[in-house]
Amino acid sequence: MKITLVRRVVQVLMLVLFCLPPLLAGWGLAGLYAGGDGEVATPAEGVFFGSLSASSLGPVPLFDPLAALELLAANGGAAMAALAGAGTVALVYALVRARAFCGWVCPVNLIGEGVDAARRRLGIAVPERVLDRRMKIGAAVAVVAASALVGFPVFETVSPIGAVSKGLVFGGFAGAGTLVAIVIAELFVSRRVWCRTLCPLGGLFQVLGRAGQVNVHINHDACVHCGRCEEACLADPVILAPALSGDDIIVRAGDCMACGACVDTCPARALSFSLGRLPARAQTRREERDPVSES
Ligand code: SF4
Ligand code: SF4
C-alpha cells in the first residue's frame, strides 16, 4: 500500500500542477475586474504552464511525443519545435520507465483506477482482457498515419488525456466525450481496457519502455506463487509471467508502469524495485540449482 499511497499523492499533485496556473490567473483577473489595479501575470508567464499535450518549464519546452509525431506527419517541418520538446520528454521517461507516465501522471489512469474500484464494489463482473495489449502499439501507428492523411493531429482532437487541464486552460473539453466512453467501457466491457489495450500514447510508451532502468525485481526463493501480484497488476497480468516462472529476475516488458501495485500486494515481500537492466534471464540461477538438467 505504501507505493500506491505515494503514487496517489503524485497523481493528484500532477493534476493540480496543470490546473493551478490558469486558475490562479483567473483569480488574479477576477481581483482586477473587482477593482484592483495591480499588474496581472498571465498563466504563460509562470514557471510552469500548459497541458499534458504541450507545456513549458521555465525556458524548457515539453511536448507529448505522440502529439509531436502526429504533428510531424501532418505538417512536416512545422513540427520541429514540438519534436525538440517531445525528445526531452521521451528521453526522461524512456530512461526511467516510459509507462511510468501512465501509472504516475496520466489522469485517465487515475480515473480508470477509480472506475475499477467502483466496479468491484458494485459487483459488476467483466473479463480481465478482451483485446491483446499490443493493440495499442498499432493504435499509435494508426493515429500517426491518419494524421498524415488528413493533415492534422487526429488523436489530439479527441484525446481524453489532457481533457481536464486543456479545458481549464483553453476553455474546450474536446476529450470529455472520449473520457465518458472509456468509463462506460471499463465498467461494462473489460477491465482497464483503455490503458491496457487501446491508448495510442500508452502504445508508444510501451515500445520505449523496454529501455527503462526502474524495474520490478523478484526474489524467487521468497515467492509462494499465490498470484496476488497478477491480480493487482495495472498493466496486464501476463507481463509478470516470465518473472514468476523463474525465467527472468525482473519484469522486463515495456508495458510495466512501475506502479508498484504488485510490490505492495505481495504477502511474501518477494517483489521490490531495482535499478538497471539486470541480466536477461535467470539461467545462471537455474544452473546453480539444478546443474545436471541444465548441462
Ligand atoms: S504476490 Fe508475491 S508471493 Fe504471490 S505470486 Fe506474486 S511474487 Fe509470488
Ligand atoms: S508489473 Fe507491477 S509495477 Fe509493473 S504494471 Fe504490473 S503491478 Fe505495476
Pocket test for ligand 2, best of 113, 244, 257, 274 (most atoms within 8 A of CB): 257
Q: Which residues pair with 54 in a beta bridge?
A: 63
The whole-number pLDDT of residue 207 equals: 93
Amino acid in the structure at residue 197? T
Nearest Cα residue to atom 1 of ligand 2: 256
Q: In sequence order, what DSSP letters do the residues of 19-58 get, joined into one string?
A: HHHHHHHHHHHHHHHTT--S----GGGSSEEE-SSEEEET
The whole-number pLDDT of residue 290 equals: 54
Residue pair 205/161 in contact (Cβ under 8 Å)? The answer is: no
Q: Is the CB of 258 within 6 Å of ligand 2? A: yes
The whole-number pLDDT of residue 48 equals: 65
**Alpha carbon of 259 to ligand 2 centroid (Å):** 5
The whole-angstrom separation of Cα 174 and Cα 213 is 35
Q: In sequence order, what DSSP letters do the residues of 192-206 get, joined into one string?
A: THIIIII-HHHHHHH
The whole-angstrom separation of Cα 86 and Cα 98 is 13
The whole-number pLDDT of residue 32 equals: 45
Q: Which residues pair with 215 in a beta bridge?
A: 274
Pocket test for ligand 2, best of 206, 229, 234 (most atoms within 8 A of CB): 234
The whole-number pLDDT of residue 228 equals: 96
Fold annotation for 213-289: Alpha-Beta Plaits (3.30.70)
The whole-number pLDDT of residue 295 equals: 32
User: From the CB of residue 242, how many other CB atoms can be counted at a distance below 10 Å?
Assistant: 18
Per-10-residue mean pLDDT of the chain, 295 residues long, equals 92 81 54 47 60 69 82 77 80 88 92 92 86 94 94 86 64 74 91 93 93 93 96 94 94 94 96 83 53 39
Pocket test for ligand 2, best of 251, 265, 274 (most atoms within 8 A of CB): 251
Q: Is the CB of 251 within 6 Å of ligand 2? A: yes
The whole-angstrom separation of Cα 251 and Cα 259 is 12
Exposed/middle/buried for 291, CB within 10 Å: 0-12, 13-18, 19+?
exposed
The whole-number pLDDT of residue 3 equals: 94
Biggest distance spanned by C-alpha atoms of the chain: 86
For 20, list phi and psi in degrees, rounded to 5: -70, -45
The whole-number pLDDT of residue 210 equals: 86
For the chain, domain boundaries: 2-207, 213-289
Q: Is the CB of 234 within 6 Å of ligand 2? A: yes
